[in-house]
Amino acid sequence: MYRPFDHLTRKVRSGEERQIDLASTKVRQLAQPFVNSNRNVFMDRYFTSYSTVQHLLPHGLTTIGTVFAHVCRDVLACLRKAAERDLHSTLAVYEHNR
């Protein structure tokens, strides 16, 4: 059976940063056929990163995904204040060009 994401769970080089780069690269490759189609890209926590979102947005792709603030260094500081929010709450973040 073909499993396209099996290689993403292995460490290619030492360190979490290399795995994040690999995940971001794979998301970009998988999204390539849909560039400028104004579609949503849904990602789980392993694939979601701020840099990936910033890359896809100018190419006509919006992103929906889960980000764990304690894992991702590029999460905005205002989003890391989880203690100030209600339990089981959701915070939506939107960014648009002015």
Q: What is the pLDDT of residues 48-90, one digit of tens each?
A: 887 888 889 899 998 888 776 665 666 666 666 666 777 777 7
φ, ψ at 41 (rounded to 5°): -110, 120
Q: What is the pTM of this model?
A: 0.58
- Report the run of H or E that residue 63 belongs to, with start and end: strand 61-65
Name the 3-class secondary structure at 18.
helix
Range with the lowest mean pLDDT among 19-23, 38-42, 57-61, 74-78? 74-78
